[in-house]
Amino acid sequence: MTVEAPGAGALCRDHDDVVIDTGDDLKCRPLHTVDYSRCVLQPSRRTDDAGRVTRSPRRWGVALLALAPFALSGCGLSNFGAYPGATKTGRSTFHLWQGFTIGAIVIGGMTLALIVYASLRYRVKRHDADAVPRQTQYHLPMEITYTVVPIIIVFVLFAFTVVVENEVTALPAVAASNTIGVEAEQWGWTFSYPGFTIAGQTTSAPEMVMPEGENVKIVLTSADVVHGFYIKQFNFSRYALPGIINQFTFNAQQTGTFFGQCTQLCGVYHSLMWFRVKVVSAHDYGLWLASQQTRAARIAASAAGETIQEQNGAGVPIRPDYGGGTS
């Protein structure tokens, strides 16, 4: 048990009292009641010029430590950990995310400030532990405010979400040359263009090429199980479902190569089910498309030629396979 000198600031109402530290609590007692045979007399607590007890600097350290995770979590303040978006809809999604995050910070900050204020303002005083703060009820303006304000907030968030969702799911008319079929399979991707396809599995990471600044329609499905078509820098993900066609439109706003991957656990090599999206200028896309179509036509002609030669070389007519029967 320790005893502090008389007048130890605001802890005691009567400045002739002393503060007794019992080890578990601080108590104010008249000086003449203290049994000094069991006490140690301390010089005084840390007080300011007015005689009030000041807080230990250690408390500021604890407060800074509590704030540290927010500063050290690694999220950039400008993008709040999201991608800025490489497509029109990706950027709209990003701006929606920014707005939601700023709204959450403002509302969360106000809520936290009110909680902290109420906790400090109406906390139990040591010398007055049984006191009950003034009770307030049936405060109609306040009740209406805290009912109406959250409803308005939800409606505002809902309205912005609907606008962006409608933009993301819109299906404007698109030229056939800008329509790409995407089929997911265990464990790879096939991209179908007019006249040819590009396919690749696991580590070969097939590449989907598309033009910059033009609407590109994606027709997505799956050959076997449920997959996820996700391009992180487009801020876009969609299920690839067997027997279901999902359609959506991209309009890339910058050239470059972007990383894509399957986001649904679809089997043993799911983690290797990558692909790339290469955005090139519209002019380069036209050249690439034409060259791939020419190449595909040459391969098809060559394959057909080989088949004819085989048939001729065998000298025996081969019955065409019409399927569905043996005779």
- Note the residues at the interface with Cu ion (CB under 5 A): 227, 262, 266, 273
> What minimum distance in Å lies between the beta carbon of 208 and Cu ion?
15
What is the DSSP code (8-state) at residue 41?
E
Q: Which two tokens stand for residue 276?
A: 């790339």
| Angle of helix 88-121 versus helix 140-169 axis, rounded to 10 | 160
Q: Beta partners for 219?
A: 181, 247
Q: Toward Cu ion, which CB reaches closer, 159 or 265?
A: 265
> What minimum distance in Å lies between the beta carbon of 279 and Cu ion?
23
Measured in whole angstroms, the distance separating CA 158 from the mean position of its chain's CA atoms is 18
Q: Pairing between strand 274-280 and 256-261?
A: antiparallel
Which of 233, 223, 227, 222 shows the shortest CA–CA distance to 260?
233
Q: Toward Cu ion, which CB reaches closer, 96 or 184?
A: 184
> What minimum distance in Å lies between the beta carbon of 262 and Cu ion?
3
Which of 253, 257, 258, 218 shows the shortest CA–CA distance to 239?
218
Q: Toward Cu ion, which CB reaches closer, 178 or 222?
A: 222
> What minimum distance in Å lies between the beta carbon of 271 and Cu ion?
9
Q: Toward Cu ion, which CB reaches closer, 96 or 262?
A: 262
Can you count the helices (H) and strands (E) in the chain?
4, 14
Q: What residues contact residue 193 under an 8 Å CB cut-off, 6+ apart?
A: 177, 180, 289, 292, 293
> What minimum distance in Å lies between the beta carbon of 210 and Cu ion?
21
Q: Toward Cu ion, which CB reaches closer, 18 or 266?
A: 266
Work out the widest C-alpha separation in the chain, in whole angstroms.
Answer: 127
C-alpha span between 209 and 216 (Å, rounded): 10
Q: Could you tell me how many residues make up the chain?
A: 327
Q: Toward Cu ion, which CB reaches closer, 45 or 270?
A: 270
Do residues 202 and 269 make contact, with C-beta atoms less than 8 angstroms apart?
yes
> What minimum distance in Å lies between the beta carbon of 92 and Cu ion?
27
Q: Toward Cu ion, which CB reaches closer, 182 or 273?
A: 273
Q: Toward Cu ion, which CB reaches closer, 192 or 263?
A: 263
Q: Which two tokens stand for residue 185?
A: 């399979």
Q: What residues contact residue 157 under an 8 Å CB cut-off, 6+ apart?
A: 100, 103
> What minimum distance in Å lies between the beta carbon of 267 and Cu ion?
7
